[in-house]
Amino acid sequence: MAKKLFVKTYGCQMNVYDSARMADVLAPHGYEPGETPDGADLIILNTCHIREKATEKVYSELGRLRALKDEAARQGRRVLIGVAGCVAQAEGEEIARRAPVVDLVFGPQTYHRLPELLTRALDRDGPGGARVVDTDFPAEAKFDHLPEESRGQGAAAFLSVQEGCDKFCTFCVVPYTRGAEFSRPAADVLAEARRLVAAGAVEITLLGQNVNAYHGEAPAGGVWGLGRLIRGLAEIEGLERLRYTTSHPRDVDDELVAAHRDVPALMPYLHLPVQSGSDRVLAAMNRKHTGETYRRTVDRLRAARPDLALSSDFIVGFPGETDLDFADTLRLVREIGYAQAYTFKYSARPGTPAADMEDAVPEAVKAERLAALQQLIGAQQTAFNRSAAGSVQPVLFERRGARAGQLVGRGPWMQAVHAEAPDRLLGRIVPVRILDGHANSLSGAVVTTDEPGNPADRAPAPAATERAIA
Ligand code: 5AD
Ligand code: SF4
């Protein structure tokens, strides 16, 4: 009989991807993924350790799962609970001590060994027996031991091309939880992309903790950087859109800039974290760039692709950050102009160099700075969205909207676009006239043309006979 699997994912897109691959690994062993933990035989929390809050969420979920596991046991059913991802990697045995409900703990580098780990967990004799903990960085490459994707991911798919990080920003746990940089061979990436497209993907987002540090073995020897990989991917028939995330300003090389100039499928939207606008803080963060070098990188990218919109990550309240430092951050935001951004209060992570730094910023000051930064970025985002009104954008419809008859998709600049549209347009790129821009989304009306097929992504829709598709 089929067993039921429930995977709950926290954190970044990398975890979303890993969760899907865990389901692929378990499918041949009779596990079918479900939408809720009720009735599941195996529950996996794929966790995030990046900030304290993310970690605490995992422990409160484990508290809730204890009740579910006890209830199932009363009915004579055994439920296995696994913790995967970065909390598992960072805390290992500690998780089992803090939350005895957990049967197995495994890090991001070992989920290809899941079937074997599960067998060991199922063999475990009664409560209190040894839990299965596997947080190695094994010598064998995980990707060589994963089955091919068993399911497509739909029209907009993710593809992991790079993992780990060698940058060691002083606030960040990633180099410790995900380990050293590793790039998948380009031939493997191309093959996976072709499979995704055959299964219905028209857009692929390349994933990596530091994706533009990509340096994969080239198909015919040598090494490909990310720009070259993007050119290779863009040749795949039916692949209309490419994106990549998340990148580091230091690794934007000329080849990548040229790809933004030459590859129409590469969407004009880039997440390029800067963290702070103050050179003093950037140095203490070990970011290896200054405000000025970041500005120059953005200039190069915008010269190559003038309609490029930017997103970023910011940390406020890093140890020692003064009012003047923070003013430099606000100045940088005003100068660059963002389409959207993520803002975080600094959160000390055990084991990172910044956790031992002096001059902690008081919580109240962090909160004040966060609010000021969010207000500025929110205003930029709203202005960016409003400026879309009147334009026609190619929109990839991905799902039904909350209102009947409405679909939601994404335009080139990552904005969510709502429009009345029939279900048959799901998974297709369709020209949409933007009627209004709001704080977090756009609304529009589908445009039809006399020509069959999709419009070129980059060009504005041809002079169109405009009517809503009924
Ligand atoms: N505190 C606050 N924010 C952090 N980030 C990473 N580590 C921390 C931390 N210790 C943020 C950075 C990074 C994003 C993914 O999370 O802005 O780019
Ligand atoms: Fe963390 Fe810095 Fe690496 Fe990004 S570049 S994953 S912030 S260490």
Q: Within this chain, do residues 103 and 176 fall inside the same structural domain, yes or no?
A: no
Are 369 and 323 spatial neighbours (Cβ–Cβ below 8 Å)? no
Ligand nearest to the CA of 370: 1
Distance of CA 165 from the midpoint of ligand 2 (Å): 6
Confidence check: pLDDT of 104 > 50 = yes
State the average pLDDT over residues 365-378. Answer: 98
Cβ of 178 closer than 6 Å to ligand 2, yes or no, is no
- Which one of the ligands is nearest to 171 CA? 1
Q: Which atom of ligand 2 is nearest to the CA of 286?
A: 2
Judgement on whether residues 325 and 352 belong to the same structural domain of the protein: yes
Whole-Å CA distances, 271 to 15, 37, 51, 295, 311:
18, 33, 19, 14, 4
Together in a domain, 12 and 122: yes
One DSSP character per residue, 56-82 reads HHHHHHHHHHHHHHHHHHHTT---EEE
Cβ neighbours of residue 27 closer than 8 Å, sequence gap 6 or more: 147, 150
- Which pLDDT does position 134 carry in this prediction? 87
In a domain, 143, yes or no: no
Task: Please report where in the chains the tokens 């409405």 appear, as a residue.
Answer: 406
| 86 annotated to bind ligand | yes
Atom 18 (ligand 1): residue with closest C-alpha?
313
State phi, psi for 466 to the nearest 5 degrees. -100, 120
Q: 215 CB less than 6 Å from ligand 2?
A: no
CATH code for the domain in which residue 428 is found:
2.40.50.140
DSSP 204: E
Which residue's alpha carbon is nearest to atom 2 within ligand 2? 169
Residue 462 pLDDT: 38
CA-to-CA dists, residue 64 to 6, 31, 70, 88, 143, angstroms: 14, 23, 10, 18, 33
Distances (CA, A) of 119 to 109, 133, 135, 411, 448: 18, 13, 17, 45, 55
Cα separation values, 93 from 8, 179, 203, 352, 419, Å: 20, 18, 39, 20, 49
| Half-sphere exposure of residue 303: CA atoms within 13 angstroms, side-chain side | 10
- Dihedral sign of CA atoms 352, 356, 359, 365 in order: positive
pLDDT band at 139 (very low <50, low <70, confident <90, very high): low
- Contact in structure between 17 and 245 (CB atoms under 8 Å): no
Separation of CA 170 and ligand 2 centre (Å): 9
Residue bearing the CA closest to ligand 1, atom 14: 313
Answer yes or no: is pLDDT of 242 > 80. yes
Residue 361 near ligand 2, beta carbon < 6 Å = no
- Among 386, 401, 428, the domain boundary falls at 386
Indicate the pTM of the whole model.
0.91
Is 48 annotated in some ligand binding site? yes
Could you give the percent of the chain with pLDDT greater than 70? 93
Q: Is 169 annotated as a binding residue?
A: yes
| Structure-block tokens of residue 69 | 């596991």
Same domain, yes or no: 113 and 228 = no
Mean of pLDDT values over 109-132? 79
- In this structure, the residue with its CA closest to atom 1 of ligand 2 is 172
* DSSP, res 27: G
Domains identified in the chain, total number: 4
pLDDT higher than 90, residue 452: no
Among the three residues 343, 366, 386, which one is the final residue of a domain in this structure? Answer: 386
Whole domain around residue 35: which residue ranges? 3-134
Mean pLDDT of 298-304: 98
